Amino acid sequence: PSESSKPNVERSIPDFMKSNNKNVVIVYGSQTGTAEDLSKRFSRSLQTDFGAQPLVIDPEDFDVESLSRISPNNILILMLSTTGEGEATDNMSTWYKKLISSDDHLEVDFSTLQPPDFQVPSDDELGHDFSFDKELPLKNLTFSAFGLGNTTYEHFNSHIKRVSSRLVSLGATLVGPLGLGDDDDDIDDDFVKWKDSVSPFIAEHIGSSTSSDSSVSYVSDWIITEIDKNSTEFDREKFNRFRFSTIENEEKLPPSEIKVDNKNPWSSKVTDARQLCHPDNERQIIHVEFDINDSSISYTTGDHLAVFPINFDLHVQSLLDILGVDENQVIKAVPNPDSTNSSSFPYSYSTYGNILRHYMDVTSPISQDILKNVLLPNVISQPGKDFLNNLINDKDAYNNLVSKPVTSPGELLNLLISAESESNVSNEQRFVLKMDVLLSMLQRMSPRRYSISSSSLESPKTLSATVVVLKYKNVNGLDRYGVCSNFLNATTDIVMRNKQGVDPSSNKTPFLPKYAIHDKMMSSSYSKNTDLRIPIYVIKSSFKLPNDPSVPVVMVGPGTGLSPLMGFIRERVQMVNSGISNVGPTVLFFGNRHENRDFIYKERLIESFGILSASNPDSKMFTAFSRDDPSKKVYVQDRIYENEEFVYKLIFEMGGNFYICGDAKSMTVDVNKALLDITKRHCGQGLSPTNLIEDLKKSGRYQEDVWF
């Protein structure tokens, strides 16, 4: 909701806490849902283990100014992700701008919140004499903080560090250690360690005692009611059968004026989806095109695309079976006022099937603390409790059964059910899954992020993604499939069918995992004459071509690392085609496994480099196919070494830009080493190679777009 859409009183954190009897407020800055999920987990732990009354909020729904009036007996907990180049997440950006303006002055004067808005709390409530100090508007605020970051990126957790120190400089007191979670290692582990170390401080501050008794039982996040479609209560207008097919848009704005972001993605039409590799290749890479005409989405070359997938039918079906419900049953899900949850689904009425298919993550394993705080209180039988307690109290048992094999929620629930039936638990004692328990266990569906592989100069209203279809065997040898890449893979079949009238079942590629095909989706949601639409939004990135077209660019992108570089290449081709005569050298190092199987975009690359090299003879493409020669691997960095003088000249003598894109682990490390090696060999005496590379990074001429 926009700031003006809610009356002020509802946007005040202390007022909201007071009216809901809360004493802890957890604020999440989340881009794809991890910080939000950890916030919910933390709030449950505080509730169960310490009898706290926490509330989890999205900063977009509240005013940052109201932090100054949070009761000194209460506590604020920040759970903030750092994104991009050390930036705030979208939902934290307004708070951040107000807290820290570029010249480090507070744009907002917290002291203006004094009368009439400001109510002096009673002495009882405060426990000491309260006076408002203009210089230190947050002197009554106590907070704890955990950041979500990644050490692979330069600005590790810089957002939480800046926000925390800003709050302290405004007078707030930080209790417990500042948690710095590292996604490169094990962020879950970092979170659990921080949670355990900070919780006693929090409990002490709010005056709660450690209580491991079961006085606080499970509180559901949602209240679920089944609705009869024929009843007067059912409002067909507000019934959403398919994610975002009808945006509940009160102002009835034209689509081109509706702001598109992760809370309100655009259902984009898929205009093309096809395989890029030879059918015999051991893995699939696909190209998917999205139409953004009619939407307010715009992008520039190098930005990222976020996609909301549809869950596998197998997973949805297994949960529906455990629930024992009809997937088409209409239900209403509203936030439970007694819970820590303050957010609602973006529609009023839905069905069991729809919620599980589009809105929740039904694949990621359930964490230990959710097993303890949500599932365990809902299990009656002793064998069922024993089964769970073993997983909750023994990290190795949990790892072996849940995290290492990537056990889905449905698989885990079935293991619990079999544990009970093996022990002949009576029917009355048996575990029965309710939808509110399930929803409290699951994370929200998170959007998946891909580098955009098209050029906005060439196709401003269509953007494309280049995606590896993820499939692997888990530790037990069972197949595991990436949800979004396999979902997008299924669209290649649908597009083929729609375009050529081909029946996809008669023409399956050998890899398409049978159960992963969205049979229901294909037969109902996407019946022959409906458009194939997928919810998307665009995330701005700083991975960009130089503004000056004459600057040389050296690009390294093996595998789907080619993706954003393909956009760069097409952008430069477009420049040449539009008559720009001084387009500088454009050099690509591309690699994959086999030249005749996964040389993706081969024709397009050959055509592009034909045009680029005709305009500038230094424009070249170098390829390395790693598995064509069984006797030795050839990688992109081998081609860099073979052309080291040329590469050094373009970057350091001609002032070129250097780009690396793809797998953040070994490839990036090895290519960086190659860059350092050739700099050492060619920079001559008197110059420091590490300084040269440092300068390259500082001036923005070295850029990475890497992932895991």
Task: Give the phi and the psi of residue 694 in degrees, each rounded to 5.
Answer: -55, -45
Cα–Cα distance between 513 and 505 in angstroms, integer? 12
Stretch in the footprint of ligand 2AM (CB under 6 A) among 131-139, 173-181, 299-307, 666-674: 666-674
Which value, to the nearest 10 degrees, does the dihedral of the CA atoms of residues 319, 321, 325, 330 take? 40
Q: Which of 29, 149, 559, 656 binds ligand 2AM (CB under 6 A)?
A: 559
Could you tell me the maximum CA-CA distance found in the chain, to the nearest angstrom?
84
| Shortest Å, Cβ 490 to ligand 2AM | 23
Cα–Cα distance between 179 and 20 in angstroms, integer? 28
Nearer to ligand 2AM (CB atom), residue 190 or residue 638: 638
For 494, the enclosing helix (H) or strand (E) is helix 483-500
409: closest CA among 384, 377, 440?
440
Which value, to the nearest 10 degrees, does the dihedral of the CA atoms of residues 463, 454, 84, 107 take? -60
Stretch in the footprint of ligand 2AM (CB under 6 A) among 137-145, 307-315, 632-640, 641-649: 632-640
| Shortest Å, Cβ 675 to ligand 2AM | 13
143: closest CA among 207, 72, 195?
72
Q: Which of 10, 291, 327, 670 binds ligand 2AM (CB under 6 A)?
A: 670
| Shortest Å, Cβ 648 to ligand 2AM | 19
Token pair in block for residue 92: 């934290």
88 SS3 class: coil
Stretch in the footprint of ligand 2AM (CB under 6 A) among 79-87, 353-361, 524-532, 586-594: 586-594
Q: Which of 231, 500, 666, 685 binds ligand 2AM (CB under 6 A)?
A: 666
314: closest CA among 511, 487, 476, 505?
487
| Shortest Å, Cβ 283 to ligand 2AM | 9
Three-class secondary structure assignment of 546-601? CCCCCCCEEEECCHHHHHHHHHHHHHHHHHHHCCCCCCCCEEEEEEECCHHHHCCC
Cα–Cα distance between 516 and 223 in angstroms, integer? 31
Q: Which of 635, 648, 658, 702 binds ligand 2AM (CB under 6 A)?
A: 635
- Regarding 656 and contact with ligand 2AM (CB under 6 A), the answer is no
| Shortest Å, Cβ 594 to ligand 2AM | 8
Nearer to ligand 2AM (CB atom), residue 54 or residue 591: 591
Q: Nearest 5°: CA angle at 14, between 8 and 16?
A: 65
Q: Which contacts qualify for 400-406: CB closer than 8 Å, 24 or more apart?
A: 402/365, 402/366, 403/365, 404/474, 404/475, 405/474, 405/475, 405/476, 405/478, 406/363, 406/365, 406/474, 406/480
Q: Which of 155, 627, 649, 680 binds ligand 2AM (CB under 6 A)?
A: 627
Stretch in the footprint of ligand 2AM (CB under 6 A) among 44-52, 485-493, 664-672, 694-702: 664-672
Nearer to ligand 2AM (CB atom), residue 48 or residue 637: 637
Stretch in the footprint of ligand 2AM (CB under 6 A) among 181-189, 218-226, 362-370, 589-597: 589-597
286: closest CA among 561, 110, 486?
486
| Shortest Å, Cβ 638 to ligand 2AM | 9
Nearer to ligand 2AM (CB atom), residue 449 or residue 633: 633
Nearer to ligand 2AM (CB atom), residue 215 or residue 666: 666
Kindly report whether the peptide bond that precedes residue 552 is cis, defined as omega within 30 degrees of 0.
no
| Shortest Å, Cβ 469 to ligand 2AM | 13
Task: Give the phi and the psi of residue 275 in degrees, each rounded to 5.
Answer: -80, 140
- Regarding 147 and contact with ligand 2AM (CB under 6 A), the answer is no
Q: Which of 447, 552, 558, 584 binds ligand 2AM (CB under 6 A)?
A: 558
Residue partners of 304: CB distance under 8 A and separation at least 6: 449, 450, 451, 452, 538, 539, 540, 541
CB atoms within 10 A of CB 394: 13
Contacts (CB under 6 A) with ligand 2AM, residues 2-61: none
- Regarding 591 and contact with ligand 2AM (CB under 6 A), the answer is yes
Token pair in block for residue 170: 């405004």
* Residue the block writes with tokens 């310490």: 50
Length of the chain: 708
Nearer to ligand 2AM (CB atom), residue 179 or residue 558: 558
Nearer to ligand 2AM (CB atom), residue 313 or residue 598: 598
Token pair in block for residue 385: 């409790």
- Regarding 557 and contact with ligand 2AM (CB under 6 A), the answer is no
Nearer to ligand 2AM (CB atom), residue 592 or residue 679: 592
Q: Which of 640, 667, 692, 693 binds ligand 2AM (CB under 6 A)?
A: 667
| Shortest Å, Cβ 438 to ligand 2AM | 37
Q: Which of 195, 243, 357, 593 binds ligand 2AM (CB under 6 A)?
A: 593
Nearer to ligand 2AM (CB atom), residue 634 or residue 683: 634
Q: Which of 73, 94, 343, 626 binds ligand 2AM (CB under 6 A)?
A: 626
| Shortest Å, Cβ 667 to ligand 2AM | 4
Stretch in the footprint of ligand 2AM (CB under 6 A) among 394-402, 428-436, 585-593, 641-649: 585-593
**What are the C-alpha distances in Å from 300 to residues 109, 557, 616, 697, 699?**
36, 19, 24, 22, 21
CB 615 within 8 A of CB 586: no
| Shortest Å, Cβ 172 to ligand 2AM | 45
Stretch in the footprint of ligand 2AM (CB under 6 A) among 65-73, 308-316, 340-348, 633-641: 633-641
- Regarding 592 and contact with ligand 2AM (CB under 6 A), the answer is yes
159: closest CA among 61, 29, 42, 13?
29
Q: Which residue in the shown chain puts its C-beta closest to ligand 2AM?
A: 559
Q: Please tell me the count of residues contacting ligand 2AM according to CB under 6 A.
A: 14
Q: Which of 325, 416, 636, 661 binds ligand 2AM (CB under 6 A)?
A: 636
Interacting residue ranges for ligand 2AM, rule: CB under 6 A: 558-559, 591-593, 626-627, 633, 635-637, 666-667, 670
